[in-house]
Structure 1
């Protein structure tokens, strides 16, 4: 079991410059249909990073609208080595016309940095990192969260079980009063200076896990929020890759800066790296890493 000192030592390994470099490397328009080649190049970048960190990389490939797409899976011993997984995920495609720095290069960067550091611990055999594709609305039918829906359907049928931690836009920060809006039926601060961790009724244990994790990152304002009815009363709380896990009966939370409710550049050509707060992202990485280490220690 990792004690507090062990966890703190690993948190010190988080490198802000790594987060910045990853975001800058993949912040290019990479919509699944309009930027297919760019999306493929970003997929290769992610695969190469996982391999550099000594993970086994496997591909969950599927067809959509006549093209082949892939969810990228990284584990220590292969996807058939386990049935019960703690999954850390982030989508790597972007919205139409957007370089997607916050949405969602930021989430990919945090995921990769956690993968790098957790590899140095003695834990992680039941960890599965997944870079999802086709999360964003598609041009012809406006369907979204396609990659994660396909993934959950396939692996649930194979008997895999998940607790999922999904990163969705985690780089935009503002301490200006009035910078934070909120979805219907949700109460919270009016400053965009916090990380939201959103779960459903079945995900209490994961929300509690992040309450414990935030004690390791006192500089991060972390707010947990539980939705009822799997978020159907506040649809915006379902707009990412955690929703298919909720619908399949798995525990899942979304880590988010709240995207369109805070970031004025959301889904525009101006969602670029210089708009992000990398110190905030470093704290987000530490919080996620602490949560993983706490969960893995039991």
Structure 2
């Protein structure tokens, strides 16, 4: 993920959501599992970038096994060739086999020679923990596809070789109805100190605060019913601060993750993130390691995600 440049310039909403009502117990994320996933992802033999396709294949195998263990109805790979190598998305499906589906995705490759704990190990770990929690739910009325993408980072960003482009294009070609898409992009770095959250323009800290203690739901104007519904449900289900930002699609930064390809094919999509380098000084650096992450708040972000993707009264 690159910058969310200018994202904070637009009108946004801030909410600290409440604990769910009594009598409705919340499934809890397992922070030990999140840590184990991140430990695996950050200690591969070589960094999980496009120059090491064997490593990416081994990660894809790990993701496939974890999705199967979580109880996915079906786990499939989506291989595609780039040059002389084959790369693959991994897809775990929950709920009915047919009908409209919700897509939740995270990329598992990294930029350059770095461990990529926050970028995007946290997104992948969150995806796998969401899979485990979905596997504990009763029958879902609609399908939820969890997709782990490859080749999101340079030199493939903004090209048809992105795993998210390949997946979105295949959905469109098959005429699959999509309820919406959620991109998980860096969800584990938090800092409560004043001045830890940066912005493109300094005075914005007086509007949004200077502490990097929240997650953000970002989307473009005109993103449709799904975007509004997801942001509302996520805020309602969260036990950590949540800020929502909307901006025109043409603003640099608003589309700097996998969700941009779903917009390209006409699907409603949102980005869930900790704001990347506006907060995390180790963005795209060798210091982006596990020790810098907050497992407790990563777990809270996953729990709110579960609450947001499960069907509400209007979906039944």
Q: TM-score range by the shorter chain?
A: 0.7 to 0.9
Q: Which has the higher contact order (CA 8 A, sep 6+)?
A: 2
Q: 1:199 Cα shift?
A: 1.1
Q: Report the Cα offset of residue 161 of structure 1.
A: 2.7
What pairs up with 1:81-100 in 2 under 5 angstroms? 81-100=97-116
Tell me, in whole angstroms, the C-alpha distance in 1 between the residues paired with 2:71 and 2:64: 11
Question: What is the match of residue 136 of structure 2?
Answer: 120
Q: 1:74 aligns with which of 92, 101, 111?
A: 92
Q: Does 1:215 align with 2:233?
A: no
Question: Is the Cα–Cα contact under 8 Å of residues 8 and 216 in structure 1 kept in the other structure?
Answer: no
- The answer to whether the aligner puts 1:35 opposite 2:52 as a matched pair is yes
**Cα distance between partner residues in 2 of 1:241 and 1:52:** 25
1:100 Cα deviation from its structure 2 partner = 0.6
Could you say if the C-alpha distance between residues 289 and 77 of structure 1 is closer, same or farther in structure 2, counting changes exceeding 3 Å? closer
Would you say 1:20 and 2:35 are equivalent positions?
Answer: yes
Q: CA deviation at 1:83?
A: 4.3
RMSD of aligned Cα (Å): 2.4
Task: State the Cα distance separating 1:211 from its structure 2 match.
Answer: 2.5
1:59 matched to 2:80? The reply is no
| Matched residues, number | 286
Query: Which residue, 239, 246, 271 being the options, matches 2:256?
Result: 239
- Distance in 2 of aligned mates of 1:243 and 1:7: 39
Q: 1:126-137 maps to which residues of 2 (within 5 A)?
A: 126-137=143-154
Contact 1:43 1:72 in 2 (8 A): yes
- State the 4+ residue runs in structure 1 displaced beyond 3 angstroms: 4-8, 28-32, 141-145, 294-298
- Provide closer, same or farther for how the CA distance between residues 295 and 64 of structure 1 changes in structure 2, counting only shifts above 3 A: farther
CA contact (8 A) 1:210 1:287 kept: no
Deviates more, 1:199-208 or 1:277-286: 199-208
Q: 1:147 aligns with which of 163, 180, 197?
A: 163
Does the CA contact (< 8 Å) of 2:50 and 2:109 recur in 1? no
Q: What displacement does 1:53 show?
A: 1.5
Deviation (angstroms), 1:32: 3.4
Structure 1, unpaired ranges of 5+? none
Which of 190, 193, 205 lines up with 2:210 in the alignment?
Answer: 190
Query: Cα offset for 1:30?
Result: 3.5
* Contact 1:209/1:294 (<8 A) preserved: no
The answer for the alignment partner of 2:173 in structure 1 is: 157
Task: Find the counterpart in structure 1 of residue 119 from structure 2.
Answer: 103
Gaps of 5+ in 2: 1-19
Counterparts of 2:291 and 2:84 in 1: how far apart (Å)? 36
Return the offset for 1:214. 2.5
**CA distance 1:7–1:127, shift in 2 (3 Å):** farther
Rounded to whole Å, the distance in 1 between the matches of 2:246 and 2:33 is 32
